[in-house]
């Protein structure tokens, strides 16, 4: 029944595990490129695709996507610097986030980004003051709006309800005088992001249509120019067995229809579609090694060398019923698993469960277990310091060669920042 071990671009997973150790994140650069290119080829040419670094901040991930033409949406100084070092041009970088520090705003102004996305009118005023003290000319700004239309189908809604993000549309409507009084910011567009994990193309097309309609209305009412409109993203990836993938053709056809209409009236407006999960999740596999296989009160457990400390998302946060991510035996890769195991990590907490009663072939100690579609919200969204295991290595396989793109944390990484005070 076993069909041999899992390979990435011909490389046996056991070789990667031997070379780089486990636990390990492996990214398949072919999948990353094809995911981006597949969307790029279908999306209206007026729409630029940006990677939200939050989903995967690895410099080689944005490096590869940037080389294919993707821009970067960043939310911290380190993400800003990651995009810069990866070779993404400032004109293809935007900075957003509900709580930006003065240091972040200053770095954005001096970097000459395409735009800073302001999330409150107070922030806009502060930025105007700050920009006044530079002699770089007006700083380009998009206002992030919190639209008041209803959105459905998101695993986690970020707009259309009371939120810390963006500026309520009603407040933007009343800001005409303020906008006129600002001299050192150039409010050149609008941004909206409705939420994450949308899996029905109708919902995403609806969001896009409503956001573009709201942008037109606000522009007419307040005089805000529409030189850029970022209509968000939140395209989902199916993780659980009750979910199906987005219909990419129907999704892009629907978005392109509304974009075409908008583009006709605003031919010089740059449109941005910012995506994290959709671009990066499919390329990644979290690879762990089985340390123990044991039975407890009738249930079979595999205790692996990594778990929720590196892959918190796999516990199914954001879904009502906890379900399993796609989990496979990488050592005995098969379509016909005939056993069930609960897969745990090494942490001393009962919550460190990566998958409950997962269908797998027989697992032996030393086997490699993989969590698939794990290239988004992995290590960076996990409590990697819990029990001081530290963060795993990350490897990217490109043209049949495996490259270390983040080394595993060492004892020095983990202990070097602590100070022993003797009393
Ligand atoms: C998190 C976030 C994204 C990325 O979301 P995905 O669902 O991973 O695509 C994009 N834009 C904003 C404003 C975000 O907060």
Where b means 16+ CB within 10 Å and e means fewer, 48-87 reads: bbbbbbbbbbbbbbbbbbbeeebbbbbbbbebbebbbebe
Domain's final residue, options 275, 301, 329: 275
Residues 266 and 308 in one domain: no
CA 3 to ligand 1 center in whole angstroms:
38
Indicate whether 200 and 140 sit together in one domain: yes
Indicate whether residue 52 lines ligand 1 (CB < 6 A): yes
Q: Nearest C-alpha to atom 12 of ligand 1 is from which residue?
A: 193
Domain final position from 251, 275, 299: 275
Kindly give the distance from the C-alpha atom of residue 196 to the centroid of ligand 1, in angstroms, as a whole number.
6
Q: Which of 325, 387, 385 lies closest to 353 in space, CA to CA?
A: 325
Task: Give CA–CA dist 370/329, Å, rounded.
Answer: 6
- 35 CB-near residues (< 8 Å, 6+ apart): 278, 279, 280, 282, 283
Domain total of the chain? 2
Helix, strand, coil share (%) of the chain residues, nearest 5: 35, 25, 40
* 176 and 111 in a common domain: yes
Among 397, 389, 410, which Cα is nearest to 288's?
A: 389
Distance separating alpha carbons of residues 137 and 183, to the nearest angstrom? 9
Q: Which of 223, 248, 275 is the last residue of a domain?
A: 275
> 74, 118, 193: which to mutate for ligand 1, most atoms within 8 A of CB?
193
220 and 315 inside one domain: no
* Ligand 1 near 276 CB (within 6 A): yes
Is ligand 1 within 6 A of the CB of residue 24? Answer: no
Residues 139 and 267 in one domain: yes
Alpha carbons 32 and 404: distance in angstroms, whole number: 16
In a domain, 248, yes or no: yes
Q: Tokens 């309609």 — which residue?
A: 213
Nearest to 373 by CA among 361, 389, 355: 355
* Separation of CA 90 and ligand 1 centre (Å): 19
d(CA 283, CA 76): 24
Task: Say yes or no: 269 and 297 in one domain.
Answer: no
CATH of the domain at 212: 3.20.20.10
pLDDT for 323 equals 85
**Nearest C-alpha neighbor of 139 from the set 149, 127, 151:** 127
Q: Is the CB of 234 under 6 A from ligand 1?
A: yes
Claim to verify: residue 257 and residue 310 sit in the same structural domain: no
226 and 322 part of one domain: no
* 413 contacts 321 by C-beta, under 8 angstroms: no
pLDDT in tens, 221-240: 999 999 999 999 999 999 98
Q: Residue 218 domain-assigned?
A: yes
What is the predicted pLDDT for the residue at 320?
54
Written as six digits, the tokens of 50 are 């940006």
Q: Are residues 323 and 223 both part of a single domain?
A: no
90 falls within a domain: no
Which residue, among 343, 113, 125, 334, has the nearest Cα to 230 in the 3D structure?
Answer: 113
* Domain match, 212 and 341 both: no
**Segments in the chain below pLDDT 70:** 1-3, 316-321
Residue 105, in any domain of the structure: yes
Pairing label, strands 11-12, 7-8: antiparallel
CATH number, position 358: 2.40.37.10
What is residue 113's predicted lDDT score, i.e. its pLDDT?
Answer: 98
For the chain, the C-alpha Rg in angstroms (whole number) is 23
Q: Is 206 in the pocket of ligand 1 (CB under 6 A)?
A: no
**Residue nearest to ligand 1 atom 1, measured at CA:** 54
CB 214 within 8 A of CB 192: yes
CA 380 – ligand 1 centroid, Å: 14
Q: Based on the fold, state whether residues 268 and 292 are members of the same structural domain.
A: no
Q: How far is CA 135 from CA 103, 110, 141, 184, in A?
A: 17, 10, 16, 10
Tell me whether residue 60 is in a domain.
Answer: no
Residue 117 sits in which domain range? 96-275
Is there a domain that residue 417 lies in? no
Q: Is residue 131 part of a domain?
A: yes
Same domain, 199 and 231: yes
Question: Does residue 63 lie in a domain region?
Answer: no
Instruction: Tell me the residue ranges of DSSP E strands in 87-233.
Output: 93-95, 115-118, 139-146, 156-157, 167-168, 185-191, 195-196, 228-233
Taking the C-alpha atoms of residue 423 and residue 421, their distance in angstroms, rounded to an integer, is 6
Ligand 1, pocket-test mutation among 39, 49, 52, most atoms within 8 A of CB: 52
Please report the pLDDT score of residue 1 as a whole number.
45
């Amino acid at each position: 029944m076993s069909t041999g071990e899992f390979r990435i671009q011909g490389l046996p997973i056991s070789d990667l595990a031997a070379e780089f150790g486990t636990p390990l994140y492996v990214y398949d650069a072919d999948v990353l490129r094809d995911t981006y290119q597949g969307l790029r080829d279908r999306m209206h040419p007026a729409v630029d695709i940006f990677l939200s670094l939050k989903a995967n901040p690895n410099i080689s991930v944005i490096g590869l996507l940037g080389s294919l033409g993707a821009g970067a949406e960043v939310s911290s100084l380190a993400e800003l610097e990651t995009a810069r070092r990866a070779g993404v041009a400032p004109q293809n970088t935007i900075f957003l986030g509900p709580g930006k520090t003065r240091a972040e705003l200053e770095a954005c102004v001096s970097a000459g980004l395409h735009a800073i996305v302001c999330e409150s009118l107070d922030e806009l005023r502060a930025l105007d003051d700050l920009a006044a003290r530079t002699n770089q000319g007006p700083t380009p700004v998009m206002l992030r709006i919190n639209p008041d239309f209803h959105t459905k189908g998101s695993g986690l809604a970020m707009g259309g309800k009371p939120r810390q993000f963006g500026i309520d549309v009603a407040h933007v409507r009343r800001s005409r005088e303020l906008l006129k009084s600002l001299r050192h910011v150039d409010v050149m567009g609008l941004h909206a992001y409705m939420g994450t994990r949308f899996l029905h193309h109708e919902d995403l097309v609806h969001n896009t249509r409503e956001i573009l309609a709201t942008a037109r209305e606000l522009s007419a009412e307040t005089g805000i120019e529409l030189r850029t409109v970022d209509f968000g993203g939140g395209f989902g990836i199916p993780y659980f067995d009750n979910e199906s993938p987005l219909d990419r053709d129907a999704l892009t056809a629907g978005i392109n229809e509304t974009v075409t209409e908008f583009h006709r009236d605003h031919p010089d407006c740059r449109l941005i579609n910012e995506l994290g999960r959709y671009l990066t999740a499919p390329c990644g596999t979290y690879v762990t090694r089985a340390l123990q296989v044991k039975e407890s009160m009738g249930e079979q457990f595999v205790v692996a060398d990594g778990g929720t400390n590196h892959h918190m998302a796999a516990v199914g946060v954001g879904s009502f019923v906890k379900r399993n991510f796609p989990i496979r035996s990488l050592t005995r890769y098969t379509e016909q698993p005939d056993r069930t195991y609960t897969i745990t990590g090494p942490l001393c907490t009962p919550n460190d469960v990566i998958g409950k009663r997962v269908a797998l072939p027989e697992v032996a100690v030393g086997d490699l277990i993989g969590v698939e579609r794990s290239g988004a919200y992995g290590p960076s969204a996990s409590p990697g310091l819990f029990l001081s295991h530290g963060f795993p290595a990350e490897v990217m396989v490109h043209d049949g060669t495996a490259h270390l793109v983040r080394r595993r944390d060492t004892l020095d990484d983990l202990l070097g920042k602590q100070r022993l005070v003797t009393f």
